[in-house]
């Protein structure tokens, strides 16, 4: 038996389903509603999260059926992982796809499922459910959030809302 972790020994295509699923660090970033700047194509994350995200556990409340309940929710697979440009920079799937290693705070490295939140990567308790933000207010929410982050920028990008 080898002490080399499976993500060092196997490509994404070679992983078992259990290994593949264990790559998810539970950060919740993929569950955030993302905005695309219609002029630049830049993808900007909001703090609005899918209605099925459980803010206490950082898990999807309907993980097995999420694609049926939320048609634009992506199911990551070894087949589509190379096409997905919107994955967070910290995402294990993206890191391994791009030949990088997992971060120290990843639960597979740290042995602690809370390390992703303790490192400030996870969105637990730092998001608002789309159930509490009317879709007509998403743009306003986005503009206010962006204004807080970029106080020196007088004009905010014109963004369309949606999931990526």
Tracing tokens 């608002």 back to the chain, one arrives at: 128
pLDDT of residue 135: 84
Q: Which of 13-17, 39-43, 131-135, 153-157 has the lowest mean pLDDT?
A: 153-157
For the entire predicted model, the pTM comes to 0.80
> Looking at residues 13-33, what average pLDDT do you find?
94
Say if residue 162's pLDDT is above 80. Answer: no
Rg (Cα) of the chain, in Å, rounded? 17
Inter-residue contact 72 to 87 (CB < 8 Å): no
pLDDT band, residue 149 (cuts 50/70/90): low
* pLDDT value of position 37: 82
What's the pLDDT score for residue 151?
A: 56
pLDDT of 158 above 60: no
What integer pLDDT is reported at residue 102 of this predicted model? 97
Q: Which of 55, 50, 47, 49 is nearest to 143 (CA)?
A: 47
């Amino acid at each position: 038996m080898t002490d080399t972790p499976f993500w060092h020994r196997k490509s994404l295509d070679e992983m078992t389903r259990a290994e593949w699923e264990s790559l998810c660090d539970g950060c919740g970033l993929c569950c955030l509603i993302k905005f695309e700047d219609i002029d630049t194509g830049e993808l900007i994350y909001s703090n609005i999260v899918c209605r099925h995200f459980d803010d206490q556990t950082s898990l999807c409340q309907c993980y097995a059926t999420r694609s049926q309940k939320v048609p634009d929710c992506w199911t990551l697979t070894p087949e589509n992982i190379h096409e997905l440009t919107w994955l967070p920079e910290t995402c294990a799937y993206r890191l391994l796809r791009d030949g990088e290693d997992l971060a120290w705070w990843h639960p597979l490295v740290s042995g602690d499922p809370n390390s992703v939140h303790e490192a400030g990567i996870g969105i637990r308790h730092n998001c608002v459910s789309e159930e509490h933000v009317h879709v007509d207010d998403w743009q306003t929410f986005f503009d206010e959030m962006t204004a807080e982050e970029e106080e020196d920028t007088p004009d905010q990008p014109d963004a369309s809302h949606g999931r990526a």
